[in-house]
Amino acid sequence: MNDYIHKTTCRVCEGTDLVKVLDLGSTPPANAYLKEEDLEKSEQAFPLALYYCRTCSLAQLLDVVDPEILFKNYHFLTGASTPSIEHFKKYAEEVIKPLISSKDDLVIDIGGNDGVLLSFVKDYARVLNVDPADNLAPISEGNGVPFYPAFFTSQTADDLIEKYGQAKVVVANNVFAHTDPLRDVFKGVAKLIDEDGVFVFEVHWQKHLIEEGAFDQIYHEHLCFHSLHALKHLVESAGMNIFDVEIVPMQGKSLRVFASKNRTPSINVERILTEEREAGLTDEATHHAFAEKVEQNKQKLLALLAELKSAGKKIVGYGAPAKGNTLLNYYGIGPDVLDYLTDTTTLKQGLYSPGMHIPIVSPEKLLTDTPDYIFLLAWNFKDAILEKEKVLRENGVKFIVTVPRVEIL
């Protein structure tokens, strides 16, 4: 594979009736953080544009960057985010454990990152983290979760069955936005779960992307923005069916989907499908309106930042998430506007943001080099962050958010 390819077919229905709805230009991979000595070197950049499939309603990227470039040395750690840890602890207690009947049952997490979710399951069943990022293996195993280094495919499923047997539960969270080819993965899962097995996965909901204007979720790792309509097509193509679905407050709003080979669908499935139709997710015009909203928010934010800088205000960024780099690059916000970015992920501290080259530091710097304004890039944790930084706010520091609208808090 070259560094990237341009697909011409939908990765869910394999149709060709696709239309571009939002073009974010050419940007570096959102997780390609730089060391200081790399700042003068040229960076790889790839087209970043969102397309809509008129056949199955999937919103997706058609320019696919080689996953070896994106994932082999990954800087995101689930365990660096307190809200994520709390989410996965609750997930293990309320979703996975009720599906386990004995300690011999096998629970597999596809793209399990540092093993946080399975660390809450390992005392109740056999667990296995299947993830391609080699650098996460010692962290996962340090959490007591065995690590199997691989991109998950139908062939991987065969290898796992031979080595470990079939699984009672397979989970995958915020993984299928990243996956190509997608249909092969679902066929692999269908082989991997036993006849009574359950497949549980979470995906960022296309409805949240569209309604909130949350375009910063679009980056090269996020190839798909899923609706339940598209997921139903995908799951059924692999010989499974969706029997339940929930909306969970991750990445703004995510769908938690339950699939199996033989369970009867709950009323939630048709309820969410109806909600999607009423929200216009199956209409092309809705996606063009989303692109217009993105452009309006861009102009409002840039005007606000220019006004604050001209008044001599010091502004920094809170969080250095991948999605923040989409926003910074598309808006053209660099170190002339934001003095630094803070992030709790120690792997990112001391590095620079891709494209715009803003230094990333520990949040402790907010106490010694306090700004007037903080631009909240990790907006999906807004409530938790505003509570955590109550003292800064009481001392007059203002927070700026841009999703779903530009406002000062």
Q: How far is CA 396 from the centre of its chain?
A: 32
* Tokens describing residue 245: 């679905």
**pLDDT-derived band at 179, boundaries 50, 70, 90:** confident
Average pLDDT for 345-353: 93
Q: 149-172: per-residue pLDDT in tens?
A: 999 999 999 999 999 999 999 999
- What's the rounded Cα separation, in Å, for the pair 172 and 256? 10
Q: What is the pLDDT of residue 253?
A: 87
- What's the rounded Cα separation, in Å, for the pair 129 and 121? 12
Residue pair 13/56 in contact by the 8 Å Cβ criterion: yes
Q: Is pLDDT above 70 for 78?
A: no
Q: Is pLDDT above 60 for 76?
A: no
Among the listed residues 132, 122, 136, 204, the one whose alpha carbon sits nearest the alpha carbon of residue 169: 122
Q: Is pLDDT above 70 for 74?
A: no
Looking at every residue in the chain, the average pLDDT score rounds to 93
N-terminal to C-terminal alpha carbon distance within the chain: 46
User: Any idea which of 75-89, 223-237, 256-270, 380-394 has the lowest mean pLDDT?
Assistant: 75-89
Q: What is the pLDDT of residue 372?
A: 98
Element (H, E) at 193: strand 193-204
**Biggest alpha carbon distance in the chain?**
65
Residue pair 347/31 in contact by the 8 Å Cβ criterion: no
Q: What is the pLDDT of residue 248?
A: 92
Average pLDDT for 368-397: 94
| pTM score | 0.85
- Into which CATH architecture does domain 285-408 fall? 3-Layer(aba) Sandwich (3.40)
Average pLDDT for 52-70: 91
Q: Which pairing describes strands 341-342 and 360-361: parallel, antiparallel, or unpaired?
A: parallel
* Tokens describing residue 182: 């997608």
Average pLDDT for 210-234: 92
Q: What is the pLDDT of residue 1?
A: 47
- CATH 3.40.50.720 domain position(s) in the chain: 285-408
- What's the rounded Cα separation, in Å, for the pair 8 and 53? 11
Say which residue the tokens 């709390």 belong to: 86
Q: Which residues of 189-211 are buried (b: 16+ CB within 10 A; e: fewer)?
A: bbebbeeebbbbbbbbbbbbbbb
Q: For helices 322-331 and 284-310, what crossing angle results, to 10°?
A: 70
Q: 108-153: per-residue pLDDT in tens?
A: 999 999 999 999 999 999 999 999 888 889 999 999 999 999 999 9
- Identify the residue with better confidence: 130 or 79: 130
**pLDDT-derived band at 67, boundaries 50, 70, 90:** confident
Q: Which residues of 109-137 are buried (b: 16+ CB within 10 A; e: fewer)?
A: bbbbbbbbbbbbbbeebbbbbbbbbeebb
Q: What CATH number labels 78-266?
A: 3.40.50.150
Average pLDDT for 59-76: 79
Residue pair 225/204 in contact by the 8 Å Cβ criterion: yes
- Identify the residue with better confidence: 174 or 193: 193
User: Any idea which of 4-18, 75-89, 144-158, 213-227 has the lowest mean pLDDT?
Assistant: 75-89
Per cent of the chain over pLDDT 90 is 83
- Identify the residue with better confidence: 46 or 79: 46
Among the listed residues 164, 124, 118, the one whose alpha carbon sits nearest the alpha carbon of residue 145: 118
Say which residue the tokens 């309820």 belong to: 271
Residue pair 211/279 in contact by the 8 Å Cβ criterion: yes
- Give Cβ neighbours of residue 118 (< 8 Å, ≥ 6 apart): 92, 107, 109, 112, 127, 128, 129, 143, 145
Q: What is the pLDDT of residue 212?
A: 86
Q: Is pLDDT above 70 for 80?
A: no
* Tokens describing residue 318: 């809170």
Q: 307-322: per-residue pLDDT in tens?
A: 999 999 999 999 999 9
* 192: phi then psi, degrees, rounded to nearest 5: -75, -40
- Give Cβ neighbours of residue 182 (< 8 Å, ≥ 6 apart): 11, 12, 176, 223, 224, 234
* 31: phi then psi, degrees, rounded to nearest 5: -105, 15
**pLDDT-derived band at 105, boundaries 50, 70, 90:** very high
- CATH 3.40.50.150 domain position(s) in the chain: 78-266
Average pLDDT for 273-281: 97
Among the listed residues 77, 80, 60, the one whose alpha carbon sits nearest the alpha carbon of residue 20: 60
Q: What is the pLDDT of residue 148?
A: 97
Q: What is the pLDDT of residue 107?
A: 98
| Burial class (CB within 10 angstroms; exposed 0-12, middle 13-18, buried 19+) of 303 | exposed
Q: Is pLDDT above 80 for 195?
A: yes
